[in-house]
Structure 1
Amino acid sequence: MTNGSDVDALVSGDNFIGKLPDHLLIEIFVRVPVTEWAQISCVKKHWANLFRGECLWQAALVKSYPLASQAKRWPGPIPRGLSRRRFAALYISKQIFSLDGDMNEIVGHAYLFLKEQLELSTTPPSAVLHGTMIDQFIACGKSRDVANELASQIWIAVLDNLEENEHTFLLLKRLAQEADVFLPYPYSRSSKVQWRVFEKLFTDFRDCFNHVDYYDVLSCAKNRFQPIPSAWLGY
């Protein structure tokens, strides 16, 4: 396996590797640890183009997830995408959720779908997003209870991996103040997800509140949870 010193030699761009044909470059790159791919793609414009192309990601799928080619038809509303998207979904499901088997790619795609929607939208329709994931898992043959549990796990994982910036603070504040309780089970977000929203607001983003917003959000927390942790108090 390629180690750190080999990677340094590989990405230098001043050796024979830069003269190899594309199919051999791809075979080398997919054997380098994933954590080094961003560094490699920045070395030369031609290498960056390889990482943007479909051929490299098809090879990466075969190398890292050989059973992915045996996957059945793709049901549900969340798109599967091309090889790069599939690789990202499988990588996330393994690294974040430690999943194997026929559900891992579906969970990874749901994670990517939710994270992208939350990061891009200024007024996220959270109930719709939650319902989309539920429908995805039900289309794959999961019960409503299992679908709701998977969706809740994905929500929590996404919330834990959002960048700590102003956009995320405003997003969490909107989620805390939303009321989707009118939606029938399992299309409303679980109490575990709601709890994590408030927990992150009152711990990671406490300094972002002004006086009025703090007490507005605290009031929402008290309406949903009794008692609330003492750590959430003391603006």
Structure 2
Amino acid sequence: MENKKCCSVPDEVLIEILVRAGVREWPQIACVNKHCSSLLRSDCFWQAALSYYFPFSQPQTQTQTNIRSRFMALYIGHHMFGEDEIVGHCYLLLKQQLQLSVHSGILHGVIIDQLIACGKSGDEAHQVASRIWVAVLDNLEENHHTFCLLKRLAQEGDVFLPYPYARSVKVQWRVFEKLFTDFRDCFINHVDYYDILACAKSMFHPIPSPWLGF
């Protein structure tokens, strides 16, 4: 039964219905059966979604993967940041590449360069990049992998990077704040904890009292 269509409605009509169901409903719809899941992965679906939600976006010749990525970038840029497509692409890039252990300084530099290339000033790029970083950090899953990622970010720092290529104080603060609050129980020994605390003390003074004490 799962391989069969859920109704006699033509696929092109069903796609239009699914598109209008709302972005937040799509993951649940994909679980209804294999046909719905297949439709939500199709080129036609993402093209319909792009046309429906962003009718004024400039048309491009794209593969299926690029259509989906472009929709996600437009949606994130608009709904999360009130910005344009490039901000959404930067968010997706940062979230993906952080999982691959790419140095955060390199990623931040790439984001700054892309934002400046799209017409933002150095100050604007720095501010938007900071918002992107904080949003990515706040949307990471709470698991051991994220804990290790945050520790790496805390220890990397931004030594000798000029403005606007150094991450903002707000971003650095958020890394330590998550480590010492959301992931406090993940520290397995005093050495691990005090190494990270030493990094925090080298950047911030005074240290918030909730961060202290293992």
Regarding TM over 0.5, the answer is yes
Q: Does 1:92 align with 2:72?
A: no
Q: Which residue of 2 aligns with 1:186?
A: 164
Secondary structure of the 1:204 match is coil
Q: Does 1:145 align with 2:134?
A: no
Q: Does 1:197 align with 2:181?
A: no
- Of residues 66, 70, 88 in structure 2, which corresponds to 1:82? 66
TM-score (norm 1): 0.82
Structure 1: 5+ residue runs without aligned partners?
A: 1-12, 72-80
Q: Which residue of 2 aligns with 1:74?
A: none
Q: Which residue of 1 aligns with 2:102?
A: 124
Q: Which residue of 2 aligns with 1:108?
A: 88
Amino acid at match of 1:225: F
Query: Aligned partners of 1:70, 1:86: CA distance in 2, in Å?
Result: 11
Deviation of the 1:180 alpha carbon: 2.1
TM-score (norm 2): 0.90
Structure 2: 5+ residue runs without aligned partners?
A: none
Deviation of the 1:70 alpha carbon: 6.4
Q: Which residue of 2 aligns with 1:229?
A: 208
Contact 2:6 2:35 in 1 (8 A): no
- Of residues 145, 153, 159 in structure 2, which corresponds to 1:167? 145
Deviation of the 1:87 alpha carbon: 1.6
Deviation of the 1:172 alpha carbon: 0.5
Q: Which residue of 2 aligns with 1:154?
A: 132
Contact 1:54 1:82 in 2 (8 A): no
Q: Does 1:176 align with 2:154?
A: yes
Query: Aligned partners of 2:22, 2:54: CA distance in 1, in Å?
Result: 14
Contact 1:41 1:47 in 2 (8 A): yes
Residues 82-137 of structure 1 show CA distances to partners (whole Å, capped at 9, x for unaligned) of 2211221222223322x1xxx42111111111011113x2x331011001100110
Deviation of the 1:43 alpha carbon: 2.1
Amino acid at match of 1:85: S
Deviates more, 1:38-47 or 1:58-67: 38-47
Query: Aligned partners of 2:33, 2:201: CA distance in 1, in Å?
Result: 55
Q: Does 1:135 align with 2:135?
A: no
Deviation of the 1:152 alpha carbon: 0.8
Evaluate the alpha carbon distance shift between residue 91 and residue 55 of structure 1 in structure 2; reply closer, same or farther with a 3 A threshold: same
Contact 1:133 1:151 in 2 (8 A): yes
Contact 1:42 1:48 in 2 (8 A): yes
How many residue pairs get aligned? The number is 208
Give matches, 1:27-106, under 5 Å.
Answer: 27-69=16-58, 82-97=66-81, 99=82, 103-106=83-86
Contact 1:54 1:83 in 2 (8 A): yes
Evaluate the alpha carbon distance shift between residue 64 and residue 219 of structure 1 in structure 2; reply closer, same or farther with a 3 A threshold: same
Q: Which runs of 4+ in 1 moved over 3 A?
A: none
